[in-house]
Chains A and B, each alone.
Chain A
Amino acid sequence: MEAPITRGVKPAEILATLRRVDGYYLCNSERDVSQSDFKNRLMPMTSVRVAPYREAAGFFSVEVSGGASVHVDLIRRQVNPFERLRIVRQAMPRTLLQTVCRGASLFGYRHYPENVIRLVVQEFAGYVDVWRVYDFLNHVPNMIPVFEEVQRAQRLLMPSICFSTGQEHTDDYYVAKVREILAATGPDVIISIKNYAGLGTPKRIGQLVEALCRAFPDIILHYHGCNTDGNDIGRMSAAVRAGVKLCDVSDHGYGSIYGQAPALTLIQALEDYNKQAAGVDIQALIKSSDLLRRERKIYESFESPFRGHDPTVARYKLTGGAVGSAFEQADKGGFLDRMPQILEEMGRVQVELGNWWSVTPGSQILWTTAVNNVLHGRYEQPSLDLKNLLLGRYGPLPFYEPEDWIYEKVLEYQRYDGKKWPQILDEERGLVKPADPDLKQERHRLEAELGRPASLEDLALYLLFPFDATSYFKFEAQYGKTWLLPPEVWFHRGGFKDGERITFTDEHGVPHYIEVISTRREGGSVLTNLVVDHGFQTLSVQVEGGDKQPIS
C-alpha cells in the first residue's frame, strides 16, 4: 500500500508515487458537483462540516475552487474566494486542494491580459496545490502563462485535453495535443482528460487512454468526467483499467446528475478488476455522505428541476457544469418548454461551428447561439462572443471552419461600414491579446473605491471581476463574514420566529448567538429586536416596495 499523498509532500515525490502505484487515487470534485447540480451554492460551512470525514477518507485532492465558483463566491455566496480556500485548508490541513482554471480565461469568461493572469495565479497558488488547466479550443498557447506560474509556485500542474466525440476527435489528435503540452511543460505534470460532458463510451475512453499510454509510457493520467448520461462509472472503470491514475468523483450522498459519479460505486466496480483505490478509508467515505445527505436538504431549491440522467447529451454535448444554469436561464427567460428544441439546435450549431469542445467559455457561446437561433431565427442575432470566436479571438478553430453563410450572418451583423465578411476576416482575424493594465494604477483605483488599502488578493479579485468584486468588498464591510452563519440560516426562507436563536462560532472559536426577540412592521420598515451576545439591539430595515434597500 502506498503512503497517502498529503500536503507537504513535494510535487516530485507525489508524481513518483503516482507513477509507481498499481491502483488509482480519487479526487473529490466538490466544486464541480456544486456547480453542476446545485448552481454552485454549496456554502463554506458545509465544506467545513464534512471536512474531517473527507480528510480521513484519503482523497488525493478535493477540488474546492475554480470554474464558476470564484464568481459565484462574490455574487451569490458572499464569501471571499481566498478566504473560502483558507477556511477549507484550516478544516482539512492534510488534503491537497484542487482548482480548475480556464487557461487565459482564468475563472471568468473572456481572455485576461497576461499580467492579470500571472498575478491571479500567483495569488491563488498560495492556497491551491493542484491546478487543472484547460482551454476550450485546446489551444495550448492560451494556457502557457498559467502553466508557467503554477510551476514557478511549485504546485502540481494538471494540463487538460478537452475531450469530445466525432470523426475529428481521433487518438492521433489527442496524442499530438498531449505532445504539444508536454513540450511546453516538461514531463513532471499530470495530464487530465477533461470529458466535460461525459461523452463517449467506456470503450472509447479506454482506447484513448491506451493510446496516450502507448505514446508516453511515463505519463500520469487523470480523468475528469461527468455523469449526465449515467455511465461515467463505466468510462472511469475503463480509464483506470487502461492506465489512468486519478479520477474525479463525487460523494454518493451529494452527487446528483450533471456532476461526477460516486466514489464508492467506482471503488466497488473496480474491485472485480483487482484495481484498488489507494489510501481510501471506506468508512470515512460513507460518513461524509451520511453528513452530506442531511445537509443536501438545505440546497434542495437549487437542484435542477430536470432530475434524471440524459443520454441525449451525446448529441448536444453541453458540459455538466452548464446544464443546471442552462435550465435555470430557460426557466427565468420563459422558454423552458422549448428546451428540447434548443438542445437539438445545440447539436446542430456544434457541428456547424467546428465540433470543438462545449465547455466554458465555449459552452456559453454555443448555448447562447442555440437559444438565439431558436428564438430569433438561425444566426439572425449572433452574440459578440460568437463573432469574436469566428474572428479567432480565442484561438484558431481546431478542425474545420463554418460555412460561408454563417460567416456572412455573424460577421456582417450590425456592421454599418458596409464591409463584407471576407474583408472583415482578412483585416481583423487573429488572436488579440488584451493589453496589460497598469496594476499599480488599478490598485489605486480599487483603494479609492473602497477607502482602504487593497491587498494583492483584493486586486486579483478586482481584476477578475471589477464590478462584482467591488460589490462584494462593500458587502463584507457592511455585513462581515457571513459565511460563518450556518447555511440553513443563509438560505432561510420566511421571517424568524420570536425566540428563534441563531448560533455560530467565529474563526477564533468564540461562540456567538443572535436571538430574534420580536418583529414589528411600521409603515415601510421592519423593526427587528435582537439580543446579540447578551446585548439588546433594534435594527430597522426599509422594505417599502419590497425592493432591497440599504439598512438604516
Chain B
Amino acid sequence: MKRKFDKILIANRGEIAVRIMRSAQELGIKAVAIYEETDKDAFHIMRADEAVCVGPGPRKDYLNIGKLIDAARQTGAQAIHPGYGFLAENPDFPEACTEAGLVFIGPPPEVIRNLGSKVIARKIALETGIPVIPATTNLDQGPPGARQALDFAARNGYPLMIKAVSGGGGRGIRQVDNEKELLAGLQRSRSEALMSFGDDSIYLEKHVHRPRHVDVQILADNHGNVLHLGTRNCSIQRRHQKLIEIAPGGLEPALTAEICATAVKAARAARYLSAGTVEFLVDPDGAFYFLEVNTRLQVEHTVTEVLTGIDIVREQLLIAMGEPISFTQDQVVERGFAIELRINAEDPKNNFLASPGLLRVYQSPGGPGVRLDGAIYQGYEITPFYDSMMVKLTVYGFTWREAVDRMARALRGFLFIGVKTTIPYFLQIVTEPDFIAMRLDTSYIDEHPHLLDYREMDREVDKIARLIAEINAYEKNPYAQ
C-alpha cells in the first residue's frame, strides 16, 4: 500500500539524524528531531523542521520507545526512521510503531528479531545453502556447555571465537587460543554478555585466519525486488570496531558477483525489507562465510552512495512509502573508489579515550571528491554522554591512489581546536605503505602498532595566536622581558 509521508520523526541524534533529514527534506518530507535536555545544543536540532524534547537524558530518553511514539503522535509524524544505534535493531520498536499506526522505516520486527539473533540468522543461512563459519549452537550453561565447547574445539582446532548471541558492533567477541583460555573465557563472556546485552547466551565459532571483512549493501522493497549495491571492505578494525571502510570491497569480479548474489539470496530468505547489510568474512583463498545481517542503515553506507550515486536513505523512505526501488540491478554501476572514516573526539594515544570539550575552532575541508556528514559546529560543547563521532569523512577517487591522496589532503584540511581527534592516527594510516598498496585484512591494526607513534601538529598560525592572546591579556609579552 502506497502512502505519502508529509512528516517523519527521526529517532536518533548526531550526524545520522542530519543525514536522514537531508534525504527527507529533498523529498519534501518534514523532519522532526528529538533531543534530550543534555543534548539541547546538538546540531541535528537546528537542521530539523520541528524538534521535541523527549526528556532530561542522557541516553535513557533516546531509548524510551514510549516517549518517541508520543513525540511522533504529538507532531503528527507518519513514520519513524531509527537511524543506527539506539533502537535501530530493537524489534520492540517497530512493533510499537505498528501498534501506534506509525510506519517504521526499516525491516519488519520479525526480520529484525530473526536476523538479530546470530543463531537464527545462521540457521536461515544454512537452510538457504549459504556458507557459514563452523560454529556451535547456543552453549548450555555450566559443565555441559564447557563439554560442548571442548568437543567443538577438538573438531575444529584453535583459535576459536566466543561470541555473545545478542552481541554486535564488535562487542561481545573474544578470541581464545587454547583450552585454558577457552574454559576461562566461557564464563567471562557470559558475564559480559549479560551485562552488555541483558542476555548471557554465547556460542563458539571457528576463527578464520587473516580474513577480509566484506559487506554487501542490499535494498529490498515490498514489490519483490531485492538488489545489492556492491561490496565494502571493512577490514580495518580496532578490537572488532570498524575504523575505515572502503568501497568496493576489493574482491575479484567473479567472487564479488558470487558474494553479492549470496547476499541477495540471504535477504530473500529472510524476507528482508528496506536497506540492510549482509556481512561476510573472506579468507585469503577466496572462501567466504556468512557473518550476520545488519538490519539497519550502517555508518559506512556513504561509501556505497558515493560510489554508485544512489541515495540509500531516499530509497529507504520511498520503500517505506510503498514505492518500488527506483532502479534495477542492471542500473547499479560502481565507478572508482570511496573511503570513509570517522573523525571522533578521541585521543588515540590514550586508548582512544573520548575527549569531550568545547570545540573552540572547527574548519572543514572541501573540494573535489570530499563528502562530510557531520553534526558539529564551532562553539559546540562535545559532551561525554553520547557517541564521540563528530564528522564522517567520505572521499571519492577515480583510482585507489587518488582516493587515498584525497583522503590525506582532506584530513589535513580539518582544523579542530579544543578536543583531541582521531585525525593524526588516520593520517598515519593513509600514508602507510600497506594501506596505500591495499594490503588490508582484519589484522592490519594489530600488525601496525607504530601507527600510534605520531606527533600532534597544530597549525603554526594557531600556536602564534596563543601568544597574541597572552600578550593581549598580560599587556606585554611575558616571554620577551
Contact = CB atoms under 8 A, between A and B. Distances in A.
Given A452-B455, A541-B473, A551-B470, A530 B465 contact: yes
Contacts of A484: 460, 464
B475 A495 contact: yes
Contacts of B462: 532, 537
Contacts of B481: 76
Contact of A482 (B415, B455, B467, B475): B467
B458 interface: yes
B469 interface: yes
Given A452-B455, A535-B415, A536-B361, A492 B471 contact: yes
Most buried by A among B360, B417, B468, B477: B468
A216 interface: no
B474 A535 contact: no
Nearest to A472: B479
A528 B463 contact: no
Interface stretch (A16-24, A47-55, A155-163, A512-520): A512-520
Nearest to B471: A492
B475 A535 contact: no
B468 A502 contact: yes
B477 A491 contact: yes
Given A484-B464, A485-B464, A541 B470 contact: yes
A514 B461 contact: yes
Interface stretch (A57-65, A84-92, A473-481): A473-481
Contacts of B477: 490-492
B378 interface: yes
A325 to B, nearest CB: 14
A305 interface: no
Contacts of A153: none
B363 interface: yes
A537 B359 CA distance: 10
A548 B478 contact: yes
B460 A480 contact: yes
Contact of B466 (A479, A494, A535): A479
Contacts of A502: 468
A452 B469 CA distance: 27
Given A536-B361, A536-B378, A537-B417, A543 B474 contact: yes
A489 to B, nearest CB: 8
Number of contact residues on A: which range applies? 35 or more
A496 B464 contact: no
A493 B477 CA distance: 8
A535 B467 CA distance: 17
Given A480-B460, A526-B473, A535-B363, A78 B479 contact: yes
Contact of A479 (B360, B363, B464, B473): B464
A538 B459 CA distance: 16
Given A490-B477, A528-B469, A530-B468, A481 B460 contact: yes
Contact of A480 (B463, B469, B478): B463
Contacts of B479: 76, 78, 475, 479, 482
A478 B463 CA distance: 6
A331 interface: no
Contacts of A516: 468, 472
A514 B480 contact: no
Contacts of A78: 479-480
Contacts of A83: none
A533 interface: yes
A302 B400 CA distance: 59
Most buried by A among B361, B363, B472: B472
Contacts of A375: none
Contacts of B361: 532, 535-537
Nearest to A530: B465
A493 B481 CA distance: 11
B398 to A, nearest CB: 30
A323 to B, nearest CB: 20
B476 interface: yes
A494 B463 CA distance: 21
Contact of B469 (A475, A482, A530): A530
B367 to A, nearest CB: 16
A516 B466 CA distance: 12
B366 to A, nearest CB: 13
Contact of A496 (B459, B460, B471, B478): B471
A218 interface: no
18 contacts: A76-B481, A478-B463, A479-B479, A484-B464, A491-B477, A491-B480, A504-B464, A514-B465, A528-B469, A532-B361, A532-B461, A532-B465, A533-B461, A535-B415, A537-B417, A539-B466, A541-B469, A543-B473
